[in-house]
Every structure is written in structure tokens, then in C-alpha cells.
Structure 1
Amino acid sequence: MSHRYTTGEFEVRPDERRVLLRGEPVPLGARAFDVLMCLIAQRERVVTKNELLEQVWPGMVVEENNLTVHVSALRKVFGAQAVATIPGRGYRFVMALDETTGAPAVAPVPAPAPASVVGADGPTGLTLPDRPSIAVLPLDNLSGDAQQDLLIEGLSEDVITELSRFRSLFVIARNSSFSFRGLAHGERDVRAIARELGVRYVLEGSLRRAGDRVRVAVQLVDAVSATQLWAEKYDRAVDDLFALQEELTRAIVGAIAPQIEAGEFQKIRSARGRDLNAYTLAMRARDTARRADREGDATTRDEALRLAHEAVEIDPGCGVALATIAFVQWQQIWAGSAASPVDAAVAGLAAARRAIALDGSDHHAHLWKAMLQLFTHQHAAGLADLQRAHELNPNDALTLSLLGQYLAAEADSAADAATGVRHVLDALRLSPRDPLRWSFLNSLAWASFAAFDHAGAVDAASRALGEAPQFPPARLCRVIGQVGLGAIDAARADFETLRALAPQMVATRLAGDWSYANPALVQRATAFLRVAAGLDEPGRLDT
């Protein structure tokens, strides 16, 4: 049985989570729909703000302006008088409703995937992908020497990278797999981990180093049937670790996806001669750069750059170090800490190009080359490199989220922009436990804004800020999204916080300088920001 509510030409279908106007679906974000249903269910009385916050965001601490934004979205759909504000108390849905109960005419449409994939309270109810899916957990360090951790993580990450090159596999991103780091083999519930990540197969194991020898033990588990598919032990010289990475990858692919064509194995990069000391330094540099990206600390960025350059001095062909240099230079430009953004871009692009010349299949190098080009207004070249990075590693969540953001931004229509939104949602599915999830949510916010889904933009930006409150791009997107919804007071209050946080970014964007080439998007974003800044009045806007 299904409940339906009608009012005038509107029909609300709770089971389908849809609002129809004259039989056609009306765009409405998931949170706004939840607010609507709370108000409808209790329409005989005033619902307090605290009640709505507790019912729509259970167990979470959220800003009250999140609620204001979604109420504004409802008023934009149903009309300004649909939801009454009772000063000092809360809200009440005041439109007359007719409620009907009966069998639905069509099978109900399930709730939108984003609610289960990118909900602020984490992934729930993830279904298995339609292709072989795997998570590679970090190997346990049994050496009794913490200095071996980065080397061990490097081996695990290399296996993830090589598996990710197969488009016919679904590979959980490194950051989500590594969120289980610290749990010893005996403490892990592999089936529970597989359920949480939404995969069928899990690879786990250990590494012990003694002098110049390493012993690696791994097992591949089918979490659905709770059976061990394959297990192996390797006793090698430490210099053979890089060849072992290729051997492991081939064995895993052969076990879980034997139907893959032999030619596909050419995607696995053959082991090349590497200097182990340089590689270890490069892994430290990359780990430090990731920490700098998360913490926004200039001193940490400088340390990452120093380590990467030291690795290159030892081994000029160390691609990990070169790609890390490009990554850090992009960070310097983005954070405004580069003494000369032009010099930083030149140095970063030079490092990325050297890495690509050494290994054209290095998706990290293509990714940071792309981002440096986009930030220096080389949009066509940047987008091409971003697409190339995704082609080289279709399972890399960060690349996919950024590609989705920029594809949406450069789209000619809202329908085309929706493709970019789907890419970002796919990225969130690839890394459901990512500690940098706020970055993906920021991409989702901007892609949603490009698709004219202002409520979705505000919702995603708010969730990003819930995890990274000091991240200016997410607050910027929330500000202009609020203007798009007509929540001008909320936008102007948020704008003051943004201006105090990132004055240079605000000045640059108010001048019409964005990292996007689409003139229509730039014009809309600039116009909305000027309204939030109090420079223009909202009556002139076409949202």
C-alpha cells in the first residue's frame, strides 16, 4: 500500500520520494524531501527547528542554516506561503492536503543512491557492483620495525594501483582500504569489512623483513561464501619487491576474473629498476604531501617537497617523487602559499612531464599535470589530461571525482552536467570510508551547482564543511548555492565567514576569475557571489 498527498497541481509520493507537478517530476534534494515529509507528517502543529534537525540529521551536529536552506527550497517549489515560519518556534506546512492510500500504479522508485552512498553518516546498505569487486587491505608489518611501514604500505598501494587499471574490475580506493590500517590480521572481520565497503573479495596478508630478505604471506578471501580462494607465501630479496608487486597483481586477477583477456594483462606495468632508498624517500614524501593536503599546513608542504627532491637526486627516474613534486606545487598554488604561483606552476608542470616521459601510464602524473593546467587557465589541455588520467586508472576515486566536477562545469546543458554528477557519485562509491571524503563532497557540490541543482550543491557543500570546516571552496559553493535557492540572508551570513577565511579567493572570484572556462557558469557564479557580498540585489538574478 502507498500513501500519496495532493494539493492543487502537486502530488507528493513518499514511497517513491518524488514530488510531481502536473504529472512531471520536480527536482528536489534528498534532505529537502526529508524536511518536507517531516512537516507533512506533523502538519497539524508547529514543528520546532530542533525536532526537524533531530529527525532529518539524526545523531549529527549541523548548522541551523542547513535547515533554512531546505525550507527555502520547499518554498521555491510549492510557493512562498507553503511553509509558514512561526517566529521563535519553528515551521508548519500550511497547504491543504488530500491523502490517499492504495496500491501504486507502478513499482515504487527506490530512494536516490546518494542517500546510501554519500550520506553524512557514512555508507549503508552498499550493494555489490556488477563486476568483480575487491579491497586490498594494507599488509601487516611483522618486522617489529616501524620504519618498514611505508615500504609495506607502498607495496600494498602499488597492488591497488595496478588492479585499478582494469576497467572490468571494481577496486576500492586506497584511502578507504587503508582506513582499516592498525587492525592486526586476527582482529579483522573480513566479511564485515567486505560488507562495509560493498565488495566480494578481500586481499589481506603480512610482510616480515629480516636484513635483506622479506617474507610476504597473502590470502584472497571470497567474503560472500566465506572461503579462501587463494593463498601464497613469498620469500624474496628486498630488491625483488617491485617484481613481486607485478606477480601478486597477476595472481589476484587470475583468481577473481579469469575471463580477462590475456592482452589486458599488458596494463600491468612491468617492474622497472628502482632504487629502494629513493623509493622509500618518495613514499615518505607522498605520505607527507597527503598530510599537508589534509591539514593545510605550509611547513608540511615544504617538508614533502624537500623529501621528494631528495629522492629525485638519488634516482632521477623516480616517478613517485616527480608526481609528488607536481602535487605539492599544485597545493602551493591552491593554498596561496607559493611565493610565485607562476614559478610553482612551471616547476610542477616540469616535474609532471618528466614523470610522464618516464612512464606514460602514470595516472598520478597526468592528474597533477591536469590540475596545474586547469588552475593556470589551460582548460582544454587540463581536461584532456584529466580524462587521460581516468582512462589509465578508471578506479581512482580522486581522479574520477575531479573529472566529474570539471566535466559538469564545462557542460553546455544541465543534462550534460548530470553526467559529471554521476561520476562524482561513482567516486564516492569507490571510496566509502575515505578520510578525504570532504574533497569528493566538494566536487559533488560544484558539479551539482553546474547542473542547476542548487539544493544539492548546498547539501553536498554543507556535508563537506561538516568534515572540513576550514575548506574555503566548499563554503564558497554553499554561499552561491544559497543565493540560487533564494536564501539570501543565509548566504550573506556565510559569505562573511568565507571572506574572513579566504579574502584573496573572495576578491579573485568577485572579479570573475574562476578555475572554469564555461562563460555561462562563471557569469552565474559571479552574479550570485556579488549578491551574497551585498554588491547587487537578488531581484536581478535568473536562477
Structure 2
Amino acid sequence: MVSSVVGSVEMPVESHNPERILRSSTCEVRMLGPLAASRDGNALKFPASRKVRALFAYLALAPKAVQRTQLCELLWDVPNDPRGELRWCLSKIRSVIDGPDRQRVEARDDTVRLDLSDCRIDVLQVAAAVKDGVEKLDPERLRTLVELFGGDFLEGMEIERSPGFNNWLVAQRRRFRACHAAFLEHLVKDGSDDDALVHLDRWLDLAPFDQRVHKILLEALARRGRIRDGEEHLAATSRLFESEGLDSRPIRDIWRAAREKTEVAGQLLAAAPTTPPPRIASEVETTGTSSHRASIAVMPFGESGAALGSGRDAGGALAHDVITRLAKLRSLFVIAQGTVFALHQRHIGSEEAGRMLNVDYVVSGSMQRQSDRITVTVELAETRTARIIWAEIFNHRRTDAFVVLDEIGNKIVASVASEIETIERNRAILRPPNSLNAWESYHRGLWHMYRFSMADNERAQHFFETAIRLDPTFSRAHAGLSFTHFQNAFQGWAKRGPEVDRAFEAAGQSLMADDRDPAAHWAMGRALWLRGNSDQSVHELGQSVDLSPNFALAHYNLAFVHSTNGDPGAAIPSSDYSRNLSPFDPMLFGMLGARAMALVRLERFDEAAEWAIKAAARPNAFAHIHAIAAYSLVLAGRVEEAREYMASIHKTLPHYGVKDFVTAMQFDALGAAMFRDAAKRLGAK
């Protein structure tokens, strides 16, 4: 029965080679081009069935075991017996890759995976190189990777009536084309390769609308005096851009500037004829933007499955929501909806769109809607390295589709902002301090700020001041500077009065620079709390949340203020929401600690102790956080554990006592009395 079904939908299957493919560690599988395999240099044949080959390729790239139901939906469009056909395909793969002493097709419960750990697969080599960082690869390794590209991913593998697989195939082709372009770009950047112009030509074939490659190529031609070649390239490029409805003026401006620069350089060379000509990479290294914001494009989410019933484009609606919320954060330059939607309608993939728009990051994803569930897959990628820096799958029951999408949108925005901030911080710390622009100085300051030590706080203050000097309108740098003065006062690292005034002054400068920046209102809220104006503090923090509901730090600080001298009942949901938005936040200890203090004030001491222990376990949790744990444990009757936390504080701060804690936290009378009582029961100062 199975053979008759398969015969109607599959191509005839050739008899397989009696010697098993992939049996030895010298076997290679190539997917960058037509699917091919070899062992010891000898070509081996896969079965002719496209679906067998497609299933093999999909499982080879899958990071974990795949559900059989997912594989059936991927490859078969309402067949008579999808699971029977899947079993047939798996049997053909087994006949090719399983050996007498090893089963490479692993079928457990209702899942399937391939074990190809001892086989060299070109796409996995490429993916591993990108994951580790293209910038870390030496030129020889880059050239080796470039030679792996014999064509598009799985050329000729499209399958009729298998939209799921074809969509996956298109996405993978775009992904690996982006990797190829990134390798070529970094080969050009290295500047030591004699074939740099060849790499530029290949890069241009992959990314014909990337203004950066046109800029580098035209400037290289101008430096070499190849004016006619440059004019011909300009004419061809202008026709190409205009045929696609794109503005070619930037390319013409690039060529005009390149020629003018060459003429000036020629005059200088006439005076100093022994000066060597600049290498191609010089322009790659100087094309960075001086803007103090990283740029990002959010592409519409592809859709499959039943309609939501509202007639709305849910994938486009989700992208629009993410674009709007990211823009409200004010920390990124976000490409407008009209531009990215126009590119999407022209079937331009996210990677190519990122290069066309010359943005630093691209968000893309897909949405699948079934009878009772919505699944959204999303990823954040660096444009120039093709590295996926964050990816997530959101799977929800479809009780209220648009409520679910709103929740997913919140998580996407918070995660994207957090991941980019982390990357920019780590990147800035590796650059020489005297080479930093305002944006980089700000993120270098963040890196030190989140170390929560007196020395690092001083360094953070220096870098925030540098950012402000370079760009006085940079509101986030003023907000960061306010935070360092807040820390000085809160931690007792400097005289409290002057630091409180400086925190308030810097927050005011942040608001003057951009009163629509949620970080400016966040800084002012903290400064007002330091000054004892809790009601005004709550108002400013509420303004921050209103401006950007996804700004996790505003929710956290609302929790903190309410937990010390406001409404402890309101502190708990604010703390929970801040952690939901940013589960790996550098200030997670504060979010947990605020919840613990609120629970103490509500006299829920056992719960408070457990949350306080979690807070103290976080990296960089300082003395006040450990004190929350000590006092909460005492109130929960766990005195011996409390003494251990207090002893850990006294190792670095021998004179720390409850007065330091209560002064820093500015509790109301009832809260202060509870923590003083805990200190008394502990026998602490």
C-alpha cells in the first residue's frame, strides 16, 4: 500500500550504493550548490527522490530532534498517508547513512534526528564560523570558507506542493548568501589579499543594492586611475537601481567624491612620489557612522496557516507593533514601516534588506497559525556579519490572537533592545578609549556602570562625560551620568548631598536633551526619590512607562520605590513585569530585591526570604542586596543563614550596619522599624 502511494508522488528511486555513505570520518556532504556527498574524494549518490534528499538536508541542519508531525507538515500537502510516506523516506535515508555498527537515524518516541557528528558538512562549517564571529577569522580561513560556496543552498531542490519546505529553503538560501557576503566583506577589509577586486565582484553579485560595496569598489577604481571602468560601473548601477525604483543619486555622489579625493591624492603623490597607494581596506575601516544610535530594520513576519478571521495582516501588524515600540525606546535608529514593507512586497529578504538600508541589525521572523495555537519564530541578526545574535520561538494558545501577539511583541522588543545593548557594550570595551565616538563612549560607560564597584563607577562617569562632550544632545549619556551620581549617594561612595544634587542636575539635562526618552524620565524618577520626593518620583517613572511600556528599568524602579516607602502591593507586579521583559537584566538582583522588600512590608516573611536569597545570588549583588537577604531571613526565623549573609558583607565592609541600610533605602517609618527589629534580633549593629 505504501509503495503505491509513494509511487504516485515520488520520482523512481535508484538502487543505493552497497557501501554506506557517511560511514567514515573522511566523508563530506555539500549543500552549497546541488546536494552532493563524497568519501575519500569519490562521489556518492543520494536517492533520486527529492523528498528523501529534502528530508535529509532538513534533519542535517536541525539543531535538535524534530517532531514527526512537523516533518509531515513540512513536506506533504495533505497526502493520503503522510506518516507512511515519512517512514518510507526515513528507510531510504537509513539505507544510505546507517552502518552495521551505528544507526545515524535516531527515532525516539515521536521525534527524529540525524547523528552526523563525524561528518564534514559545508553549511555547518559556515554556520559555526559565523556563530563564533566572522571578525575573528583569519584571511586564510575566510578564503577556505568562501571556496565552499559552489552555488545557492540546495540548488534545484524546490518541491511542488510543499510550501512549508520551500519557505524554509528560501530562508536558508538567504541566510547562507548573507554569510557568503559577510566573508567576502571581511576578506576585502583585511586588505592583504591580492584578489581583493575579485572578492569585491563576488560580493557585488551577492548584494547588488548594497551601497557600501559600490562605495568601496568605486573608490578602489578611482585610486587606481581606472576612471573609464568606474564610469561604466556607475552607469550600469544607476540603470539597475532605477529599474528597481531605487534612488541612484547616492551612488553618483560616491563616484564624484571618489574622483575628487583621487585628484587631491594625486597632487600629494606628485610631491611625495614614494608614498604607497592606500589599500582597498582603508575605506572599509572608515565607513562607520558617527551617529550615537545603532540602526535596525524590522521586516514583516511571514505567515502560514489559517487566517485570524479579522482580515488583518497579522504578520505585518506584529512588525508594525515592534517598529513602533522600538522607536519609543529612543535608543535605536529604527527604519520606518513604509520602507521595510515596500522591500518585503518586492520579495527582498531580511539579509538583503539590511544591506540595502545599511543598518546594523535586522529583525525577521515567521508566524504559523493553526486551529488552536499561534507560533512566532523571531531572530535578530547583525547585518555585516550575518550572525544571529538572538532567536526565540513563542508558542501560545490562540484564545485571543491579538492579546497573544501583544504579549509576544512586548517580549520581542525588550529582548532585542537588551541584546543590542549587550553587544554594543562588549564591542565598545574592546576599542581604544581615545577612538570612541559618543555612542561607543556611552556603551563603554554602561559596561563599567553595571560592574557596581566604586572604581568602575568612576570609569563609567568618565565615559558618560566623554559621550556628552562629543554629543551634548545625547540624552542617554546624561541619564547614565545621573545614574553614576545616584550610585555614589546610594552606596555611600561619596558625600550624599552633593551627589544627590548632581544626579538631579544630570537627569534634568537628559530631559532637556530629549523629553520623549523614557530613560530621561527614569533618571529623573530615581533622582527625585533620592531627594525624598517619592510621589514625584512615581509620577516620573510612570511617565517613562507611558512613553515606552517595554522599558524594563522603569518598571523595576517603580517596584523599588513602592517597596521602600510606597505601595508594597503595587511593587510586586511591577517587579514581576520588569523581570518578564528583561529576564537576564544586569540589574536583576535589584528587581528580585525590590520584590523581597515589598513582601517584608506585607509581612510575608517566608516568601521574602526566598526572593532575597535569589537576589543575593545574582552577579554583582552588592552589600545592600545581601543585607535584604540577611534581614529577610531573620524575620522568617532563619537566623543562622542570616548570619552567613551578614558575615559576607563584613568581609569587605567591616563597619556596615542597619543604619547604612535604612539610610540608603529611605524606608517609611513602619518599614524602617521592621528592618531595625530584624537587625536587633540578629545581634548586628
Q: When the two structures are superposed, what TM-score results if normalisation uses the length of structure 2? A: 0.40
Larger Rg: 2
Q: When the two structures are superposed, what TM-score results if normalisation uses the length of structure 1? A: 0.49
